[in-house]
Amino acid sequence: MVEGEAEGLDGRRGSLAAADQRLRPAMKLLADLEQFASDHRAHGNLTADATEPAWNGYLLTMACSCGVVFGRWITHVDAELDLLGAASLN
């Protein structure tokens, strides 16, 4: 293995494995958001919102009518990687 390369869980090395690692937080966000929506959908309306982007990212929230709020800070890097991941599916 070349110094500085990382081996992914699937045995791949280098930049592809590193890219997989960087995309995991975006995939986890989607899974967490879907889980929250699934858990709270029966309570009534869900309301999503995002703050205006700042130099260090933005806050994404989803509120349930039962009073529970899901919140996650999204950095610009997270958003960019999410877009790149979505573009690669096309």
Residue boundaries of the structural domains of the chain: 23-88
Q: Residue 24: what pLDDT?
A: 56
What predicted TM-score, i.e. pTM, was given to this entire model?
0.62
As a whole number, mean pLDDT of residues 62-84 equals 87
Q: Residue 54: what pLDDT?
A: 92
Q: How far apart are CA 76 and CA 42, in angstroms?
A: 33
Q: What count of Cα atoms within 13 Å lies in the side-chain half-sphere of residue 37?
A: 11
* Cα–Cα–Cα angle for 71, 73, 78, rounded to 5 degrees: 130
Q: Residue 67: what pLDDT?
A: 94
First to last CA, the chain: 32
pLDDT grade for 7, boundaries at 50, 70 and 90: very low
